[in-house]
Chains A and B, each alone.
Chain A
Amino acid sequence: MTASTTAVPQGREEIVRTINVVKEYRMGDQTLQALKGVSVTIYRGEYISIMGPSGSGKSTLFNAIGGLDKPSSGKVFIDEVDVAQLDALELAWLRCRKIGYIFQTFNLIPVMTALENVALPMIFGGMLEADARDKAKAILERVELGHRIDNKPSQLSGGQQQRVAIARAFANDPAIILADEPTGNLDLNTGKAIIGLLKEMNRERGVTVISATHDLKMLDISDRIFWIRDGAVEKIQRRDEVTIDAGQMH
């Protein structure tokens, strides 16, 4: 917590707060602490990058924030609601409407077209099929895939698949976008384009973006960076602080 006091944007609405989140993995008689008590606060509209070396616990933290995995102890609040207190229906609603997920491996449904993939979360949310398809089409046009809406994921390039995944994540106008290494499987330029797209969506829709990454391209556009090492937050920096560091590095 002490680290964060230097870099907290004041007077803004809190959207995510974790308190002392611990995640342990048991393997046989060994216990591995992937998160060792992480406490962070994220504000509405921020673009946050969670940076750290491989195995440092980025994905584990991502899963805990997104309600995709239960922490061993500690609390996660989304919009001031304790995620652990939610029943199955509320949790499904949260995943459907409040949070949009983007994964390194895209995770599109292989048998569905781009349009159907983007429409699916809207249908789960109870929207009528025709409305869902119209809206999906509009979002796909926004991510410049208007001409490929009837293609299956296997007919699209990696970058295009990730655009579909982004469109899908935005389907229900979530308050939070969680992205785990969204550029991890993409080449340099495609990765840049995806990062640019995420930033634009963040700006134009006011959505909070939380992205786990070790892609240094993310540094330029993040409002704050959480540096994670060995399952703990090492430091939290604002973008201007990072630029100085980066300057010193060269």
Chain B
Amino acid sequence: MNLPVQAVGRVQRQTQLPLSKAVEIALKSMRVRLGRSILTLITIVMAMAFLTQVWLGNRFGPVIHAALLARAHLTVHGPVADDGRLVWLLSLSLLVCLVGISNAMLMSVMERFREIGTMKCLGALDSFILKLFLLESIFLGVAGTVCGIVLGVALAAGMMVVRYSTAAWSLIPWGGVPWVCLAALGIGTAITAAAAMYPAWKAARMEPIAAMRVEV
């Protein structure tokens, strides 16, 4: 039996894997974990739908209200929108997003501490592990947030119709909607990625054996 060539000589430096490899592994990992990913995804969708709906609903409401009053030849006194109430509602729904999404992401990464420790034993670099979780969370965050926004816009518009009758439909001020959606997309993705990166960064920095010992 001839001996295979062993890694002889002294210690060398580990090669950095290209980003494409991380993308490939991240996508595969999400596909295989579909069931678990969908659970996390639903949380993101719900939270972002809530935020978008509150945000848009509070922009639509006063405008439609004023327009309907104007049609009835009534004038509104005082400011059209109540800014204080809007800020309060938005902060509240942001908090809901922050807590809900963070919790879901934290759990889903914590479940994989052993996997992170194992990958480090097999020669994964910390930076590669971070890339992997960053990519996964961005994919998840974008997908969840987009669905959430669509749902949120539909809800906000639907509620106007419910509140002010079908006449409200033509009065919805769509002008600012793209900006709100864009902002929500940024917020949703950022929260998701940040909530995944924090535990992933902690686990990647640990000695492999410590990461493998963490039980959830």
Contact = CB atoms under 8 A, between A and B. Distances in A.
Interface of A: 63, 66, 68-70, 78-81, 86-90, 92-98, 101, 103, 107-112, 120-121, 123-126, 168, 172-175, 204-207
A112 B208 CA distance: 20
Interface string B1-15: 101111110111111
Looking at chain B's contact residues, the main secondary structure is: loop
Nearest to A170: B4
In the complex, the 8 A-B pairs of residues with the closest C-beta atoms, listed nearest first:
A96-B123, A92-B14, A126-B15, A93-B14, A111-B32, A124-B123, A89-B13, A97-B7
A121 B5 contact: no
Contacts, number: 107
B33 A174 contact: no
Given A79-B10, A81-B11, A112-B32, 17 more contacts: A66-B121, A68-B207, A69-B208, A86-B11, A88-B125, A89-B13, A93-B14, A93-B123, A95-B120, A95-B122, A95-B208, A96-B14, A98-B7, A108-B118, A111-B32, A124-B122, A205-B4
B209 interface: yes
Contacts of A97: 7, 12, 123
Contacts of A206: 3, 6
Interface in B1-35: 1, 3-8, 10-15, 17, 21, 29, 32-33
B206 to A, nearest CB: 10
A173 B7 contact: yes
B120 to A, nearest CB: 7
Given A63-B209, A93-B123, A95-B122, A111 B7 contact: no
Nearest to B9: A79
Contacts of B210: 69
Nearest to A180: B209
A120 to B, nearest CB: 6
A90 B7 contact: no
Interface string B193-216: 000000000000001111010000
B124 interface: yes
A174 B10 CA distance: 13
Contacts of A126: 15, 17
A228 B4 CA distance: 33
Contacts of A109: 115, 118-119
Interface string B100-126: 000000000000001101111111111
Given A88-B125, A109-B119, A124 B4 contact: no
A87, A92, A205 interface centre (most CB from chain B within 10 Å): A92
Nearest to B1: A204
8 contacts: A69-B207, A69-B209, A109-B118, A124-B122, A125-B15, A173-B4, A174-B6, A205-B3
Contact of B118 (A86, A98, A107): A107
Nearest to B32: A111
B15 A88 contact: no
A168 B119 CA distance: 12
B6 A95 contact: no
Given A68-B208, A126-B17, A81 B10 contact: yes
A173 B5 contact: yes
A89 B33 contact: no
A173 B17 contact: no
A94 B15 contact: no
Most buried by B among A94, A111, A121, A174: A111
B122 A175 contact: no
Contact of A121 (B1, B114, B122, B128): B122
Contact of B14 (A81, A89, A107): A89
Contacts of B12: 90, 93, 97
B113 to A, nearest CB: 12
A68 B121 contact: yes
A96 B122 contact: yes
Contacts of B5: 173
B73 to A, nearest CB: 65
